[in-house]
Structure 1
Amino acid sequence: MKLSIIISTYNSEEWLHKVLLGYTIQTENDFEIIVADDGSTNKTKAVVEGFASKFKNPIIHVWHEDNGFRKCKILNQAILKSNSDYLLFTDGDCIPRKDFVATHLKSKEAGYFLSGGYFKLPMFISKAISDSDILDQKCFQIPWLKKQGLKINFKWTKLSNNAYFAAFMNWLTPTKRSWNGHNSSGFKSDILAINGFNELLDYGGEDREMGERLFNNGLLSKQIRYSAICVHLDHPRSYVNEEKIEINNAVRRFNKKNNIIWIETGIEKHK
């Protein structure tokens, strides 16, 4: 198959349903979905099973026991379950536009990873999005969002469906071409070459840390934040810990200064 999509989630079954529904109508359907579940209850399992017959290839549910924020560990385990040589990473709160998968596949290139973004929605609109709004793609349309009460600002340009404008904005944006866990893709071999995600890290820049090691190993990145579109559903973040974020930042500073590529606390120990 052309692609493995790894979706991280934790006890957000309502949002995961909306996200998976978005993948049922992709213009490119030769992919597998792997749900990387960081210890959710059986409600998440039920959502995954409910979509079992909706895709061309089997949907895989990778789960471990809830023991705090261990996203990096479950992502590494999901990578080992993947059956494609190209991996797309996103989150269980990001609904993809119907050309999301096709855009990643069209843009992939040896020696690069792809760096995407999202359009963030407030809670009242996140809740208001129905199945039909996803299937009809209304949740990506500015008139519909405006009707729901979303205020106009420059970020609306992310939802442009004009390929020429999107390409121009990808070139123009000052945003760094970093690895963003909600919308990035790369070759499996490149990720294995740096031992995957660093399982010592908690929430806060843990995705970018892996991307920085990809850079240290000679990879470049391409900006597709205005081309590969997903809308981000709002949710509380009870797991945010400022002390642990600073530890993550210290690790990133050390890795950058010392050009670190391989970390011991990665995917290799799960093989």
Structure 2
Amino acid sequence: MSQELKASVIISTYNQPKWLKLVLYSYHLQSVKCFEIIIADDGSDENTKTVVEDFKSKTDLKVVHVWQEDDGFRKTEILNKAILASDSRYLIFTDGDCIARQDFVETHLKLQKPSCALSGGYFKLTEEVSGLIDNHVIKNQKCFDVDWLLENGQPKTFKLNKLTTSDFKSRFLNTITPTKATFDGMNVSCYKSDIIAVNGFDERMKYGGEDREVGERMMNNGVKFLQIRYSAICLHLYHDRPYKNEQVLLENKSIRKETKKAKSKFTEFGIRKN
């Protein structure tokens, strides 16, 4: 690695080696190479390790595989470990089922601002279209082409505008969208120092809003979230969510409610423990 590291892309994953393989390939094709990849692995089996080792052997990018034992949904814990394992000042968070457009990392780096976080979006592919994605489609960036998607059965909706390549149109749509800029773990970036300052993710939280909560603490601590949902583009591959749990969602809501009420800037249940 001759280039200075300007970003760490933290990719969370759990037992989706087929998707992760495609996602990693999309980072191999990025327009800039000044970043490392940290895989935050919440207890996947050997199949994921094989995918990571295979990718390492084919790319010049620095790749770090941070793994913890499978003990239920502990994404917040593995993300905190990944933050500590990162070697750059700027962090880009995404998931192992989100394929990045070629300019994804470049866009996050270009739009970064001190004391700000960038809130990106994602475009959800149908199950049928997800099944058509392979290295060839990613290399040619066909999966980001609206005509290709429509030809292959993706429904025609306003959300296709999320794939715009027009700088003017993306800036305009970022400005007028009613969607709030939040910490959405599929596509968000911030300075490492800003997330460390609030002690990272709250490890009490399981699936559902665990990413929003860290963002809310960052906002309470003076970090401004900027909307870039039409600028930094990634595609979400279809899958079921067997880990969704109503009781857990209620507990998470309760923690977020307390964060908002107390205007919390710090969690005692994060990176640094008492």
Q: TM-score range by the shorter chain?
A: over 0.9
Match of 1:182 among 165, 174, 186: 186
The answer to whether the 8 Å contact 2:90/2:191 transfers is yes
Identify which of 152, 158, 163 aligns with 1:159: 163
Over 6 Å off, 4+ runs: none
Number of the residue aligned with 2:57: 53
Q: Which residue of 2 aligns with 1:198?
A: 202
Q: Secondary structure at the match of 1:51?
A: helix
Q: Equivalents in 2 of 1:180, 1:141: separation in Å? A: 24
SS at match of 1:7: strand
Q: CA RMSD in A?
A: 1.0
1:256 and 2:260 aligned = yes
Deviates more, 1:94-103 or 1:47-56: 47-56
SS at match of 2:57: coil
What SS does structure 2 have at the residue aligned with 1:26? coil
What SS is found at the alignment partner of 1:90? strand
Instruction: Please tell me whether residue 80 in structure 1 is matched to residue 88 in structure 2.
Output: no
- Paired position in structure 2 for 1:37: 41
Call closer, same or farther: CA 1:258–1:118 in 2, change over 3 Å.
same
3-state DSSP class of the match of 1:237? coil
What one-letter code is carried by the residue in structure 2 that aligns with 1:34? I
- Partner in structure 1 of residue 14 of structure 2: 10
Work out the CA distance in 2 between the residues paired with 1:197 and 1:232.
23
- Cα distance in 1 for residues equivalent to 2:101 and 2:252: 32
What is the distance in 2 between the residues matched to 1:151 and 1:122? 8
Unpaired segments ≥5 residues, structure 2: none
Aligned to 2:238: 234
Give 1:57 deviation, angstroms.
Answer: 3.4
For 1:13 and 1:114, the matched residues in 2 are separated by: 28
Residue matched to 2:109: 105
Work out whether residues 35 and 62 of structure 2, in 8 Å CA contact, stay in contact via their aligned partners in 1: no
**Residue in structure 2 matched with residue 246 of structure 1 by the alignment:** 250
Using the alignment, how far apart are the partners of 2:188 and 2:55 within structure 1? 23
8 Å contact 1:195–1:268 — kept in the other structure?
A: yes
Structure 1 residue 56, shift from structure 2 partner: 3.2
1:120 aligns with 2:124: yes
Asked whether the 8 Å contact 1:31–1:56 carries over to 2, the reply is no
Shift of 1:165: 0.1
Write the distance in 2 (CA, Å) between the matches of 1:223 and 1:55.
31
Distance 1:57 1:125 in 2: 28
State the identity as a percent: 52
Q: Quick check: 1:38–1:70 contact (8 Å CA) kept in 2? A: yes
User: SS state of the match for residue 272, structure 2?
Assistant: helix
Alpha-carbon distance, 1:151 to partner = 1.4
Q: Match of 2:44, as an amino acid?
A: S
- Partner in structure 2 of residue 220 of structure 1: 224
The aligned amino acid for 2:190 is G
Structure 1 unmatched runs, 5+: none
Are the counterparts in 2 of residues 3 and 30 from structure 1 also a CA contact under 8 Å?
yes
TM-score (normalised: structure 2)? 0.97
Q: Is the 8 A contact 1:194 1:261 kept in 2?
A: yes
8 Å Cα contact 2:119/2:188 also seen in 1: yes
Letter in 1 for 2:147: P
Would you say how many aligned residue pairs link Structure 1 and Structure 2?
270
